[in-house]
Structure 1
Amino acid sequence: MPKSGGGVMAWNVFRFCTALRALGSIMMVLVFGVIGLTYYVVVIADYGPALFHGGLDSLTSFIVLLLFHSLLVMLLWSYFATVLTDPGGVPTSWRPSIDEERGDADPLIGLEHGGANLGLNQSSVLGEPANQRMRFCRKCNQFKPPRCHHCSVCGRCILKMDHHCVWVVNCVGALNYKYFLLFLVYTFLETTVVTLSLLRLFIAFFTEGEISGTPGTLVATFITFVLNLSFALSVMGFLIMHISLVLANTTTIEAYEKKTDPKWRYDLGRKKNFEQVFGMDKRYWLIPAYSEDDLKRMTVLRGFEYPTRPDLDELQLQQL
């Protein structure tokens, strides 16, 4: 097992890439299996028939079914947006730009050959803190934009890569990170609604309460409650972690890499950090899409350029 530059043991979580790709397909089947089972129990077996009971039962059923279907639509929309949206790749023609304001002329500009033949100093190519833009991927044999990382599962560099998620069979990066976060939000809300709506039946399993339905329906209800409760709790923890990452303007990979450095040059404040992921148009914050205005005026949504803190940039220049 190789060691990192700081002497800490580094473990490649994507070592078994082929297995992870196969696992992703299984996870997709599992997702739709849980959704199908939940739909059967909540809509067909329980609250659907209760709509015709009249009185308070009908009103309660209508509210539960309205919430359930509304959240399900948003969950599936966010899920497919995450699965089908390319997280962002690096064009082979991409080159680091020259910082004219600082007068930094990037020596990598204009070179036409691959990194293996450049004869450059390895530390400058791989991205020392003093030269963040000069990064090169030896696996892809091309330059890497800021905050870009190579995914061994996808076999390419991903813009602002957060992680490779087997649940969505895709990388989570610059272009679909918002969609992934909304998928987590709506999954948590949906599983919470299902858990609360089936709680009375779950309690009745262990009391003398009356439960109607066939043995098969009762077993399905019990399994659905346990699964949705488990997903709600696990997703809640995952969601809290990602909210903290968004507010600090970092990714899962970056949070690990900068754990010894409390000064993060991309942290612009919680409001601006949030807008870099969700956009500035509040009407689009809760849906997996961006407004045309945001796509035009916010270069960060393209995944190549990210504003930095001027104070840390000055400190960085002084250390050169």
Structure 2
Amino acid sequence: MHRSGVVMAWNVFKFCTVLRGLGSIMIFLVLGIIGLSYYAIVLTNYGPALYSGVLGEAAVALAILVLFHCLLVMLLWSYFSVVLTDPGSVPPNWRPVVDEEKADTIPLTVPDLGSPILSSQSVSLADTSNPRVRYCRKCNNLKPPRCHHCSVCGRCVLKMDHHCVWVVNCVGALNYKFFLLFLLYAFLETTLVTLSLLPHFIAFFNDGVIPGSPGTLATTFIAFVLNLAFSLSLLGFMMMHFSLVSGNTTTIEAYEKKTAPKWRYDLGRKKNFEQVFGADKRYWFVPSYSEEDLRRMPALQGLDFPSRPNSGAQEL
């Protein structure tokens, strides 16, 4: 029994090490797929169509190229916002000041924390069975509500959703909106590329006349297949995440709590949406927040979350 536990822990450690080692490889893979799509759409097919001399073809090509580049800018902006934005970590010497389980404003006293506060303001918990206190045994620190430890990053992440190898980063409180926008724009971009290359794909199998060298034809074929696969995958993944947003849960919370019907953080779809995207509609579709939202919505910072009154003491 002990040996199997050691083996499992070792396998998990190796898995986390592999994920860390992927590093920038995944970023270059994403950029490679984007570059392949750019080559197939702009350089091979619709770029030359602008100079075909046929007014209808040129108009369609212009519309596709403009939309393609607009979506590409938003996709790259959202993607690198996820990659470069820290998802949120526990501030040094953080400790709860309210009873998070009962959702009231009674400060937690020293006995609640299990031991006297040290001179450094850190807390040593001798009794971590107290359900009112969440404690990470790996970081040896208290954990704010909805915070979880990431074994890949080796730290606790605020409102952690999951560790994503595609963005080489954890998805948490401070970059979850950016991740959702990346999914949205990636889906729209891959769908546009798929639909734009579909006529060429059909002509290829109908033995139609397709301009270009064998190399450009192969590039068009590969780009179509890849974008179709990613478009379908992203659709399912995006629908899952937006359903989580509507219930104000994360992936971890949904799996561990099975999205209980009386989830304390479910404030209704509108407010749940604002907990991630902010209340300022001008910023909903850009990977940024208004200063006003950041100032008046503490949930966007990942440390303090409003909850329903008289809700059950359900906390991860």
Is the pair's TM-score, using the shorter chain for normalization, greater than 0.5? yes
2:5 counterpart residue number: none
CA shift at 1:52, angstroms?
1.2
Letter in 2 for 1:218: L
CA contact (8 A) 1:24 1:167 kept: no
Give the match for residue 126 of structure 2.
119
Taking the aligned partners of 1:63 and 1:38, their CA distance within structure 2 comes to: 16
The answer (yes or no) to whether the contact 2:253–2:259 under 8 Å persists in 1 is: no
C-alpha displacement at 1:15, in angstroms? 6.0
Aligned counterpart, 1:68: 68
In structure 2, the residue corresponding to 1:310 is in which secondary structure?
Answer: coil
Distance 2:288 2:19 in 1: 28
Whole-angstrom CA distance in 2 between matches of 1:219 and 1:62: 24
Amino acid at match of 2:164: C
Residue 28 (structure 1) shift: 1.4
Aligned to 1:254: 253
State the match for 1:42 in structure 2.
41
CA contact (8 A) 1:145 1:304 kept: yes
Deviations 1:252-293 (A, max 9, x none): 000011117432100000000000000000000000000010
Change (3 A) 1:195 1:152: same
Residue aligning to 2:6:
none
Q: Secondary structure at the match of 1:312?
A: coil
Partner of 2:88: 88
Partner of 1:105: 108
Amino acid at match of 1:36: G
Q: TM-score, normalised by structure 2?
A: 0.89
Whole-Å separation in 2 of the counterparts to 1:14 and 1:265: 34
Deviation at 1:178, TM superposition (A): 0.1
RMSD of the TM alignment (CA)? Answer: 2.3
- In structure 2, the residue corresponding to 1:16 is in which secondary structure? helix
Aligned counterpart, 1:155: 154
Check whether the contact 1:149–1:161 (CA below 8 A) recurs between aligned residues.
yes
Quote the offset at 1:66 in angstroms: 0.5
SS at 1:123's partner residue? coil
How far did residue 103 of structure 1 move? 3.7
State yes or no: 1:196 paired with 2:195. Answer: yes
Identity of aligned residues (%): 65
Q: Deviations over 1:11-33 (max 9, x none)?
A: x9776111011234322121111
Structure 2 distance, partners of 1:260, 1:170, is: 25
Paired with 1:21 and 1:38, the residues of 2 have a C-alpha distance of 28
Cα separation, partners in 2 of 1:15 and 1:273, compared to 1, 3 Å: farther
1:150-299 aligned at under 5 Å gives the runs: 150-259=149-258, 261-299=260-298
Please say if 1:56 is aligned against 2:56. yes
Q: CA deviation at 1:104?
A: 5.5
**Relative to 1, partners in 2 of residues 1:15 and 1:306: Cα closer, same or farther, differing over 3 Å?**
farther
Q: Show the counterpart of 2:77.
A: 77
Structure 1 residues not aligned, in runs of 5+? 3-9
Judge conservation of contact 2:249–2:259 (CA < 8 Å) in 1. no
Aligned residue identity for 2:84: L
- The 1-side partners of 2:34 and 2:59 are apart by 24
What amino acid sits opposite 1:88 in the alignment?
A: G
3-state SS of the aligned residue for 1:157?
Answer: strand
Hey, what's the Cα distance between the residues in 1 that align with 2:158 and 2:75?
24
| Residue type of the alignment partner of 1:92 | P
Are the counterparts in 2 of residues 24 and 168 from structure 1 also a CA contact under 8 Å? Answer: no
* Structure 2 CA distance for partners of 1:235 and 1:24, relative to 1, 3 Å: farther
Corresponding residue of 1:7: none
Distance 1:236 1:14 in 2: 32
Task: Give the TM-score normalised by structure 1.
Answer: 0.88
Tell me by how many angstroms 1:221 deviates. 0.4
